[in-house]
Amino acid sequence: MLRLPFVMVFSEALGETIFFCEDDNTKAALVEEGASPWSIYTRAELRTLCVQNRIAPLNCGKSMRSNARSPGGSPSDTNPRCIAKCAFG
């Protein structure tokens, strides 16, 4: 597991641990080890979030919990741009 390219971070804004990883194979390995799929972002997902944030920046002063991915939801039902903006400052 430690040979896979990923970073684990505890987000005080979200109150949970999130993962940033290289690709879908690494994401699948993290899920297999017990990480929630909704707390893992691949490089491609982060690239998309950064592009979207440049188009329409969000104010992270709004409720973070309402913008976070939720179990049973999908990334398209939520607004993860705020998560990325706050995660990267």
Give per-residue pLDDT as tens, 41-84: 999 999 988 888 787 775 555 444 444 444 444 444 345 545 55
Q: Is residue 23 part of a domain?
A: yes
Kindly state whether residue 1 falls inside one of the protein's structural domains.
Answer: no
Average pLDDT, the chain: 75
Domain of residue 26 covers: 6-88
Domain count, the chain: 1
The sign of the torsion formed by the CA atoms of 7, 37, 28, 84 equals negative
Residue 32 neighbours by CB under 8 Å, 6+ apart: none
